[in-house]
Structure 1
Amino acid sequence: MAESGPKSSALDVDKYPLAPSGLELEQVHVYVRHGERTPVGARMAGHIPEHWKMCKTAHRFQASINVSGVDGMVEGFQRALKIVERADGTHHEGQCLLGELTDLGKKSTYNFGASLRELYIQKLGFLPDSLQNSEEVYFRQVLTTNVPRTTESLQQIIHGLYPTSKCQPDAIPAIFVRNGRDENLLGNADSCKRLEILLISFAQAAASTYNHTLEPLDKKLSKYFNGQPIRLDGKPRASGILDTIRAATAHNIKVPPEFEEKGVMDVIEKAVVAEWFSDKTEEVRRLGIGRLLDDLSTKMQHKVVHGKKDPLKILVHSTHDTGLAGLASTFDVFDDKWPQFTGSITFELFKSEREASGSSILQTIFSPLWSKPNSEHYVRMRYQNKNMVLPICAEEGKHLPSFPEFCTLAAFRERVQELTPLDYESECAPAGRTPA
């Protein structure tokens, strides 16, 4: 049985499930993988193109510059083209760098932003049609490579959500970035030695456990790699092959027939997912995702405390596949499938108005005059267009009755607190946290 493989994951507005009556949407946190890109390495020469000419629009840009004017230095714009030069000095218009967002990737991320607009503006009326206050939105990207695919993806998403014609002159959406040591949109092994040590040990363990599952593929696949077998820790590495095949099929590039077989790709994917995401220990979750969840929880709590005085309604984060898988795995809802291009996770904060407990009969009758409602808040996590029922909220009292996908904010924050490092730098020391 052949398969083309997953391509990109569009936001399904039509099948978005409305919240139960009585719940009001307060804030939305979106984490989205960048759009389609070229492979991060040149592999399978002679079978998959080494050079990809799919970046024509990606290489046209305007550079902001300072130029001399009558009143001194003023800002201007310079039109330019970026051209990829090959090792032999030749160049071809539209050629992509390795790992670069392609024209298709730009289109799919723009469509993702347009779907956000359709859902949260046109369907739900949650966001204003025109952006008049830039404090209502928050956009942030992860910077981990020298190829700005997350930057370009986020720019396209912003343009789809709030095109220039829908932004007031003073409402300029800002894109936030962090220095490498402060990055927390994915596990930051570069700034946390302990996390690096743990991830390496888990990868080695996965190789010992799963390499034998790849052996049955040797007769079929080694001919494409000069007789070398695919292994998690070999040359070629299974993760690199999965990346190349997924990138090719996303762009409708023909791959060798063996890599179109579902059985073959399922075996490779299972092994690679185990290598990258089987590390479900509490320590890895704390060091890898804990700081990000603390950011998310803090912003939600700020919204709860300040209500309408906090104008922030939607936060969009442009990240990588490992960021999405890390979040899903940390909450024990990962489907063990490699995240698709433009795959996304959303956390939606809802408010429910309930009468204060212990009210007297007279207070109930005259509640409009006497009593103020208690606000209960809930969090719904959605991944790949599906509601996630979080195990941490399974107990009675930790979710909205009859709706287990709506986790109480209290239960959600309790789990986040458990995952938040108390002293990140000391816990990142090679030996890890010292027992109390």
Structure 2
Amino acid sequence: MSESPKSHSPLDVEKYPVAPSALQLEQVHIYVRHGERTPVGVRLAGPPANLPEHWMMCKTARRFQASVYVPGIVGVMDEFQQSRKVVERADGTHYEGQCLLGELTDLGRKSTYSFGTSLRELYVEKLGFLPDSLQNAGEVYFRTTNVPRTTESLQQIVHGLYPSSKCDPEVIPSIFVRNGRDENLFGNAGSCKRLEILLVGFAQAAASAYNHTLEPLDKKISKYIDGRPVRIDGIPRASGILDTIRAATAHNVKVPPEFEEKAVMDVIEKAVVAEWFAGNPFNKTEEVRRLGMGRLLDDLSTKIQHKIIHGDKDPLRILVHSTHDTALAGLASSLDVFDDKWPQFTSSITFELFKSTPAGNGSSFLQTLMSPFRVNAGPEHYIRMRYQNKNMVLPMCADEGKHLPGSPEFCTLTAFRERVKELTPLDFVSECAPAGRNST
């Protein structure tokens, strides 16, 4: 089963643009969407669409080792109990290889493992930034949302980056997970009532604004959804239709010919992206940016600053976060570089921290012009953001003096942190009250 170029975004190592020699890579922060999965709901099943109700694409990784308690024996470590996971249907039947709804498939495991091997190829083999074998667990940081598909994706990525043969026997990489109320790897409306209220309102506004753009599709698509109209707030929702079609095409499942028409899918995608990301929620409302992505950007900024202050005493070099499409679109939208396309499976956003080397820092006349009042100036630091294998030129760094001269994709850390500070809630709890910042 081959990957579909329409739904999968591998990391392109060959075309990775190496930074100018005057810059030295210091730290890498990666946010990657999980791999290919099944749809999160049953849609378009049965005639005439005939898409699967049951997805038989999860034959690997069905065996587990669970640590179990051994009572009454002092000094004996927990034993490991072997087990298998089997999906049972409502009628009590079960079949080998059936996936749960929204589950990472065999293809998703393959693509996330490949993402990990690509990270290794880039940062270990090509750049020499990471060591060949992991001797110090403090050099890496792995974190996932508490969702099976992101956790399993991260496990595959870690295995690709540092397989067991490349880890010291005493080094076991940790995979960090936060409680739901503390999660910030996506816009966490569950822990922020104000964000929930805003997003519901924006979804309603998007339906009013974009439903008419979907009306011309009714004569083509309604027959596949029991004669109902195609709408943002329809049954199924337009986002659900897009989700199912994207999952199907990713796994080479044949879809009705209308869903293979670019004009049809472009209209659906545009409406759904407007509902979720590109309309009012992130591009128009600073409050939603703050409540949705502000804490995550603040985490990023804080860890970067820690690295700069402590230098080699902070060994952390690469941070990999396994998350969702909403996180990538939210980050890109909040920083004004979203392409208005639904993020593909295994697509990623990378923030790379660079510092100017002594030679580059001392010999650059332009650097001196940029900082005429710096006394005993240390190295300059820059952030480069990459999304979908492309360098992002951040609007907040466009002005002269806010980026590396001649290279606008290298944002000065000062300019980057200034914008992040504006996006960071001062008091997340109070700002999340239903009425917002002015409610207390």
Aligned to 1:81: 84
Q: For the structure 1 residues 305 and 72, does the alpha-carbon distance in structure 2 shift closer, same or farther, using more than 3 Å as the test?
A: closer
Whole-Å Cα distance in 1 between the matches of residues 66 and 263 of structure 2? 47
- The corresponding residue for 2:383 is 379
Shift in Å, 1:189: 0.3
Shifted more, 58-67 versus 15-24: the winner is 58-67
**SS of equivalent residue, structure 1 residue 298:** helix
Matching residue's letter, 1:203? A
Deviation at 1:72, TM superposition (A): 4.7
Q: CA deviation at 1:59?
A: 1.6
Q: 1:54–1:69: structure 2 CA closer, same or farther, 3 Å change rule?
A: farther
Give 2:338's aligned residue.
Answer: 334
Output aligned runs, 1:312-331, within 5 Å.
Answer: 312-331=316-335
**Residue in 2 that maps onto 1:351:** 355
Decide whether the 8 Å contact of 1:356 with 1:374 is kept in 2.
no
Distance 1:351 1:254 in 2: 49
Which is further off, 69-78 or 298-307? 69-78
- Structure 2, unaligned stretches of length 5 or more? 366-374
Q: 1: distance between equivalents of 2:431 and 2:240?
A: 31
Aligned residues: 418
1:5-58 Cα offsets, whole Å, 9 max, x none, are 722100000000000111000000000000000000011112101001111113
SS of structure 2 residue aligned to 1:125: coil
What is the identity, as a one-letter code, of the residue corresponding to 2:221?
A: L
Q: Please tell me the residue identity of whatever aligns with 2:133.
A: S
Q: 1:355, 1:372 within 8 Å by CA — same for their partners in 2?
A: no
- Secondary structure of the residue aligned to 2:409 is strand
Q: Which residue of the partner structure matches residue 431 of structure 1?
A: 435
State the shift of 1:69 in Å: 7.8
When structure 1 is superposed on structure 2, of 81-90 and 62-71 the one drifting more is 62-71
Unaligned runs of 5+ in 1: 359-370
- Shifted more, 227-236 versus 408-417: the winner is 227-236
Q: Quick check: 1:355–1:374 contact (8 Å CA) kept in 2? A: no
2:95 is the counterpart of 1:92: yes
Match of 2:119 in 1: 116
Question: Structure 1 pair 375/321, CA: closer, same or farther in 2 (3 Å)?
Answer: same
Q: Does the residue aligned with 1:67 lie in a helix, a strand or coil?
A: coil
Please point out which of 63, 66, 82 is paired with 1:63: 66
Partner of 1:149: 149
Give 3-state SS (helix, strand or coil) of 2:78's partner. strand
- C-alpha displacement at 1:348, in angstroms? 0.1
User: Aligned match of 1:420 in 424, 428, 435?
Assistant: 424
2:247 is matched with: 247
Question: Which letter maps to 1:53?
Answer: M
Alignment of 1:2-13 (within 5 A): 6-13=6-13
Partner of 2:370: none
**Structure 2 partner of 1:301:** 305
Distance 2:188 2:144 in 1: 14
Q: What is the alpha-carbon distance in structure 2 between the residues aligned to residue 393 and residue 372 of structure 1?
A: 24
In 2, Cα distance between the equivalents of 1:183 and 1:296?
14
The root-mean-square deviation of aligned C-alpha atoms, in Å, is 1.7
The farther-off stretch of 371-380 and 134-143 is 371-380
Q: How much does 1:356 deviate?
A: 10
Q: CA deviation at 1:224?
A: 0.7
CA shift at 1:71, angstroms?
3.6
Given that 2:33 and 2:325 are in contact with CA atoms closer than 8 Å, whether structure 1 keeps it comes out as yes
Shift, 1:67, TM fit: 2.8
1:175 aligns to 2:175 (yes or no): yes
Deviation at 1:230, TM superposition (A): 1.2
Structure 1 counterpart of 2:130, which letter? L
TM-score normalised to structure 2 length: 0.92
Distance 1:167 1:236 in 2: 47
Between 372-381 and 232-241, report the one with greater CA deviation. Answer: 372-381
- TM-score, L = length of structure 1: 0.93
In 1, the alpha carbon distance for the partners of 2:75 and 2:27 equals 44
Question: d(CA) in 2 for partners of 1:176 and 1:201?
Answer: 33
Q: Deviations over 1:288-324 (max 9, x none)?
A: 0000000000000011111111000000000000000
Q: Is the 8 A contact 2:43 2:244 kept in 1?
A: yes
Q: Does the 8 Å contact 1:181/1:191 carry over to 2?
A: yes
Q: 1: distance between equivalents of 2:78 and 2:22?
A: 50
- Determine helix, strand or coil for the equivalent of 1:43: coil
2:264 alignment counterpart: 264
For the 8 Å contact 2:433–2:439, the answer to whether it is kept is: no
